[in-house]
Structures are given as C-alpha cells and as structure tokens.
Amino acid sequence: MKKVGVAILGLGVVGGGTYRILTEHREFYRKTQNVDIEVESVLELDRSRALALGVPEEKIASNIAEIVSDPEINIVVEVIGGIGAAREFVLAALNAGKSVVTSNKELFCKYSHELERAAKRQNAGLYFEASCVGGVPIIRTLLDGVQANRISGMMGIINGTTNYILTKMTAEGRSYEECLKEAQKLGYAEADPTADVEGFDAAYKLSILSSLAFHTKVPFAKIYREGITGISQEDIADGMDLGYVLKLLAIGKQSDEGIEVRVHPTFVRKDHPLAAVNDSFNAVYLTGDAVGDVMLYGRGAGALPTGSAIVSDIIYAATHSENKYSTFKNTANAEKDVKFINNFKSAYYLRLTVEDRVGILGKIATIFGRHNVSIVEMVQKGTQQDGKVPLVLITHETKELSVRAAVAGINALGETAHVDTVLRVVS
Ligand code: HSE
C-alpha cells in the first residue's frame, strides 16, 4: 500500500481539526483509498498545544527546514494564516518538491500566481479547497463538477461570522455591537473582527471563486467591497416589513459586457433560497448554461468542517499522480482584454430623513426622475420628530452610478432631505 507522509504547519483550530481527522480516520483511508496517510511532523510554536492533541514529542519540528528536508514528508499542510511566514513556508515546501494543501484565502488570493508557478516548476500539487467556504466543496465543484458549463453567475453567503451577526440582528432585534460581541464570545469573530465584518474575507474568497468560475484572473482589487459595520437595526426591521432579509452577499457575474464582482450587504426576498441560510452557515448559488442552478450549503468554518476540506485535498494529492492546477491563466493581474463592470445594475433600498411638509416628496421624486431611478414602493416610517420623518423606498433595477448621483442630488438639498442608508436588493 502506498505510504504518504504529511506535515501540518500550525495547530490552531483548523490544524487541530486536521490532525484529529487524519489520525482518527487513518484506518478508514487505508481501507477506502488504499493509501496509508501518516502525520510525520507538525510545526507549532506552542508545544503544549501539540502535546495536548496527542502529537508524539518526536514529531514536533523546530523549524521549517526540518520539514522541507525530510524525505518521508510528501505533503505539507499550511494552516498558519496571514501572509508572512505562511508564504515563506509554502514556497519553501513547493520548492523542495512537496505538494501543499492550504486553507489560506488571503495567501492564495494574493499570491496564487507565484505559488502555482513554483508548484508547476517542481511538479508538486497545490490544493486550496479549505480556503473558501470551509467544508463546502465549492472549489472541487468548480474545478470538476461544473466544468462542462459556462458559468454566468454566482451568489453566495461566504462568511459565517457576518451571517451569524446579521441572523441574530434579524431574529432578536439586537444591535450590531451586541451581536458582534456574542460572535466573538462564541469564537466566530476574532478580537479584531475587521477582516470578517468589513468584507475582506468574503472578497478574498470571491476573488478565488470567480477566477475559477470565469476562467480568468479576478484580482482582489477589482472587487467592490462594503462590510456590515454601518447596518442599523432600523434598516433590518424596515427591510423585514417589506419582505426582505439582509445578508452579506458575494456576487460574481459574467456576460458579454464583462465581469462584475462585489461583496456588500444585500436585501434578499424572504422566499429566496439564500434567505434561509442562517447563523454561521454558508451557501453558494451557481448558474451554469447547461446545468442551470446549483446550490451548495454547509459550514463555512470550524475545526472539523475546514479539516474535512483539507483532508479531502490531502487524499486527492495522495491518490493522483497528475496534479490539477487552476483552469485559468494564473497571472498577478487581470488579463488585458477582460473588462470589469463598476456601473453594475441592481435594485436598491434607500432610507431617507425628510422634512414633513408640502412639496418635499415632489422634489425628491424629481431628482430620482432626473437620474432615471424608478421607485417600486415608498413607505413613511414612524412619526414626525423635530419636523422630520423617515422614508423608506425600493427602486426598480437601475445603474449603480445613477443611484449614487440621485443620492448626491438629494443630499445637496441640505436640511430638507438626507439619504441615511443605501443598500442593494436582490429580488
Ligand atoms: N472567518 C471566516 C468566516 C471563516 O467567518 O466565515 C474562515 O474563512
């Protein structure tokens, strides 16, 4: 039976989960995959963490050089995160001809061209299922399952922390700050939650997923990004009254006009399949020209779900003699002839505070009309305070830049009216 040696760099939550799956399932993989996968080494500064997991003392390496020079190690798993040491260690492993499995979305998003070049040069594998949407096999689906298709769109909830926060704000009527604290207590959000709540994490993942789906490099810098830190309880409640649920969506579309990629809080109708994806769960909804719609749903984070993605990559690397690389030209920047669309189309939710007197609505309607923005419905919310009332409206599908121009026009009315919130809507 083929014997494969693995080293794990980093024994945090995901590294620990990976170690557990590999050791507990070793016999199962011997039977089902006809391969004997053994953890030969771990690199973890906190030795007590390794010992607590049951790693034998002699398997704890002191530095990366010990791992890359060990002929018993075929596959190196990087679960350190970040760019610094992770990039250096992954390159060292690839340059030594070892296959790499990584969960590092930021690293793969920013340096996939450099890493893949090193992997191809050494005929080593480079696998990254765990970098996007945890245990949900979205990368394998894009690389294999739906390869027959031209993918025209993908839409997903690909960050569990923000989905947890928005779910709690929606279901329990609590503030963003309270729900963030709870997410931190449960270990979903980091002490510094910026990467999740400002949409960076989702944008790294969208860059990777849309590059695979659209067969061309979609750099992080091309992704329009807005987080959830400015979301108020009023907006969530008003959206609910109108039949919508708020989600942080990652959206990628490809058409003859070009590619649009964006991450932002979005209202989805209550009967949309993504509206039912709650708590820390993730889901991705793909549309292919042959298959139609496909939706994948599951846990986007956590020790065992993410460990599941890593170990599945290890098994793939261990059982295939040919490596599988990206199905697009993996360059640092976008290809020259690819057009990215900034002035995308969407419906919008707007929340305004306006003076409660004759003629104000007329003025506002005139500004919308001037910019070609058409209103589907408008509701006055609550009662007058200091002579002003809140107004909530939904627009027909319109161009992003038209809405921005209309908002600027309304805000130029001074005391008369102000746009407090602009959110996009998927109907
Ligand atoms: N922090 C991410 C999330 C998981 O909340 O979904 C890892 O990407």
146 shares its domain with 252:
yes
- Please name the residues in contact with 158: beta carbons below 8 A apart, sequence gap of 6 or more: 132, 133, 202, 205, 206, 209, 250, 282, 284, 300
Q: Is 301 in the pocket of ligand 1 (CB under 6 A)?
A: yes
How many Å lie between the centroid of ligand 1 and the Cα of residue 79?
Answer: 13
Residue 208 falls within a domain, yes or no? yes
Residue 215 falls within a domain, yes or no? yes
- Range of 284's domain? 138-299
Q: Is 201 in the pocket of ligand 1 (CB under 6 A)?
A: yes
Predicted confidence at residue 257, as pLDDT, reads 95
Q: Which residues pair with 402 in a beta bridge?
A: none
Mean pLDDT of 365-371: 97
pLDDT at 381 over 90: no
Q: Which residues pair with 259 in a beta bridge?
A: 254, 340
65 shares its domain with 119:
yes
Predicted confidence at residue 187, as pLDDT, reads 85
How many Å lie between the centroid of ligand 1 and the Cα of residue 351?
Answer: 30
pLDDT digits 0-9 by tens, 281-299: 999 999 999 999 999 999 9
Least confident residue range of 58-62, 223-227, 414-418, 421-425 = 414-418
Predicted confidence at residue 383, as pLDDT, reads 78
The C-alpha atoms of residue 24 and residue 233 are separated, in whole angstroms, by: 45
119 shares its domain with 147:
no
56, with CB counted inside 10 A (0-12, 13-18, 19+), is exposed
User: Where are any strands of DSSP class E within 256-327?
Assistant: 258-269, 281-288, 292-299
The C-alpha atoms of residue 260 and residue 224 are separated, in whole angstroms, by: 9
Q: Which atom of ligand 1 is nearest to the CA of 301?
A: 4
Please tell me the residue having the least CA distance from ligand 1 atom 2: 159
Residue 334 falls within a domain, yes or no? no
Q: What is the DSSP letter of 396?
A: P
Predicted confidence at residue 160, as pLDDT, reads 95
**Using an 8 Å Cβ cutoff, are 259 and 218 in contact?**
yes
pLDDT at 412 over 90: yes
The C-alpha atoms of residue 298 and residue 54 are separated, in whole angstroms, by: 29
Q: Is 196 in the pocket of ligand 1 (CB under 6 A)?
A: yes
Last residue of a domain, one of 70, 104, 131: 131
The tokens describing 276, both together, are 């039912």
Active site residues: 205
Predicted confidence at residue 278, as pLDDT, reads 97
202 shares its domain with 82:
no
Phi, psi of 68 (to 5 degrees): -70, -20
149 shares its domain with 289:
yes
Helix or strand (DSSP H, E) at 199: none
* CATH assignment at residue 123: 3.40.50.720
**Using an 8 Å Cβ cutoff, are 1 and 291 in contact?**
no
The C-alpha atoms of residue 43 and residue 50 are separated, in whole angstroms, by: 9
Measured over the CA atoms of residue 116, residue 120, residue 121 and residue 122, the dihedral's sign is positive
Phi, psi of 197 (to 5 degrees): -75, -20
The C-alpha atoms of residue 114 and residue 94 are separated, in whole angstroms, by: 11
The C-alpha atoms of residue 374 and residue 388 are separated, in whole angstroms, by: 24
- Please name the residues in contact with 361: beta carbons below 8 A apart, sequence gap of 6 or more: 354
Predicted confidence at residue 88, as pLDDT, reads 98
Please tell me the residue having the least CA distance from ligand 1 atom 7: 301
Orientation angle between helical segments 233-241 and 160-172, nearest 10 degrees: 70
Q: Which residues pair with 127 in a beta bridge?
A: 101
Q: Which residues pair with 385 in a beta bridge?
A: 388
Mean residue pLDDT across the chain: 96
Of the pLDDT bands very low, low, confident and very high (cuts 50, 70, 90), residue 189 is: confident
Of the pLDDT bands very low, low, confident and very high (cuts 50, 70, 90), residue 249 is: very high
Residue 387 falls within a domain, yes or no? yes
Of the pLDDT bands very low, low, confident and very high (cuts 50, 70, 90), residue 236 is: very high
Round to the nearest angstrom and report the end-to-end CA distance of the chain: 54
Helix or strand (DSSP H, E) at 271: none
- Please name the residues in contact with 28: beta carbons below 8 A apart, sequence gap of 6 or more: none
pLDDT digits 0-9 by tens, 256-284: 999 999 999 999 999 999 999 999 999 99
Rounded to 5°, the CA angle 254-256-106 comes to 30
Nearest to 203 by CA among 248, 267, 163, 169: 248
Residue 314 falls within a domain, yes or no? no
Q: What is the DSSP letter of 150?
A: P
Mean pLDDT of 83-100: 97
Number of residues that this document lists for the chain: 427
Last residue of a domain, one of 87, 115, 131: 131
118 shares its domain with 148:
no
Predicted confidence at residue 385, as pLDDT, reads 83
266 shares its domain with 204:
yes
Residue 123 falls within a domain, yes or no? yes
119 shares its domain with 175:
no
Q: How far is CA 353 from the centre of its chain?
A: 33
**Using an 8 Å Cβ cutoff, are 79 and 15 in contact?**
yes
105 shares its domain with 158:
no
Of the pLDDT bands very low, low, confident and very high (cuts 50, 70, 90), residue 106 is: very high
Mutate to test the pocket of ligand 1, among 106, 180, 201 (most ligand atoms within 8 A of CB): 201
* CATH assignment at residue 143: 3.30.360.10
pLDDT at 427 over 80: no
Q: Is 300 in the pocket of ligand 1 (CB under 6 A)?
A: yes
Q: Which atom of ligand 1 is nearest to the CA of 205?
A: 8
Of the pLDDT bands very low, low, confident and very high (cuts 50, 70, 90), residue 190 is: confident
99 shares its domain with 168:
no
Mean pLDDT of 35-47: 97
Mutate to test the pocket of ligand 1, among 159, 180, 186, 247 (most ligand atoms within 8 A of CB): 159
144 shares its domain with 292:
yes
The tokens describing 135, both together, are 């245990």
Residue 339 falls within a domain, yes or no? no
Mean pLDDT of 327-351: 96
Last residue of a domain, one of 75, 102, 131: 131
**Using an 8 Å Cβ cutoff, are 206 and 226 in contact?**
no
pTM for the whole thing? 0.96
* CATH assignment at residue 417: 3.30.70.260
- Please name the residues in contact with 336: beta carbons below 8 A apart, sequence gap of 6 or more: none
Total tally of structural domains belonging to the chain: 3
Predicted confidence at residue 126, as pLDDT, reads 98
Residue 25 falls within a domain, yes or no? yes
By three-state DSSP, how is residue 193 classified? Answer: coil
The C-alpha atoms of residue 336 and residue 11 are separated, in whole angstroms, by: 41
112 shares its domain with 185:
no
Mean pLDDT of 176-201: 94
